[in-house]
Amino acid sequence: MFTGIIEEIGKLKKIQTGADTCILTISAKFILSDMHIGDSIAVNGTCLTVCKFDNTCFSADVMPETLRRTNLGKLSSGSLVNLERAMSVNGRFGGHIVSGHIDGTGKIINFTKENNAIWVKISAKPELLNYMILKGSITIDGISLTIAKISEQDFSVSVIPHTRQQTTLLSKKIGDIVNLECDVIAKYIEKFCNFQKINHISDSNISEKFLAQHGYL
In angstroms, the CA 34 to CA 135 distance is 35
For residues 109 and 179, membership in a common domain is answered with: yes
**Greatest mean pLDDT range, 13-22, 40-49, 187-196:** 40-49
Q: What is the model's pLDDT at position 9? A: 98
Number of Cα atoms under 13 Å in the Cβ half of residue 125 = 11
Residues forming a β-bridge with 120: 111, 157
Q: What is the model's pLDDT at position 176? A: 98
* Average pLDDT of the segment spanning 15-28: 88
Domain-embedded: residue 93: no
Q: Which CATH number goes with the domain that contains 17?
A: 2.40.30.20
Given a cut of 60, is residue 204 above it in pLDDT?
no
With vertex at residue 202, the alpha carbon angle to CA 198 and CA 208, rounded to the nearest 5 degrees, is: 100
For residues 61 and 116, membership in a common domain is answered with: no
Cβ–Cβ < 8 Å for 80, 165? no
Domain-embedded: residue 147: yes
Please name the helix (run of DSSP H) or strand (run of DSSP E) that holds residue 120, with its range, or none: strand 117-123
pLDDT tens per residue, range 134-182 = 999 999 999 999 999 999 999 999 999 999 999 999 999 999 999 999 9
In angstroms, the CA 13 to CA 32 distance is 15
- Domain's final residue, options 27, 52, 85: 85
In angstroms, the CA 1 to CA 171 distance is 26
Domain-embedded: residue 73: yes
For residues 15 and 63, membership in a common domain is answered with: yes
pLDDT tens per residue, range 66-93 = 988 999 989 999 999 999 999 988 877 8
Domain-embedded: residue 178: yes
pLDDT tens per residue, range 130-146 = 999 999 999 999 999 99
In angstroms, the CA 205 to CA 43 distance is 43
CA dihedral 71, 86, 127, 197 (to 10 degrees): 160
In angstroms, the CA 119 to CA 67 distance is 28
For residues 175 and 194, membership in a common domain is answered with: no
Question: How many other CB atoms sit within 10 Å of the CB of residue 24?
Answer: 24
- Which pLDDT band, with edges at 50, 70 and 90, does 197 fall under? low
For residues 13 and 70, membership in a common domain is answered with: yes
For residues 179 and 195, membership in a common domain is answered with: no
What does the chain come to in residues?
217
Given a cut of 60, is residue 201 above it in pLDDT?
no
For residues 13 and 56, membership in a common domain is answered with: yes
For residues 138 and 116, membership in a common domain is answered with: yes
Number of domains the chain contains: 3
Full-model pTM:
0.86
In 3-state terms, what secondary structure has residue 23?
A: strand
> Which residues constitute the domain of residue 209?
189-217
Q: What is the model's pLDDT at position 175? A: 98
CA dihedral 153, 157, 163, 169 (to 10 degrees): 20
In angstroms, the CA 155 to CA 176 distance is 15
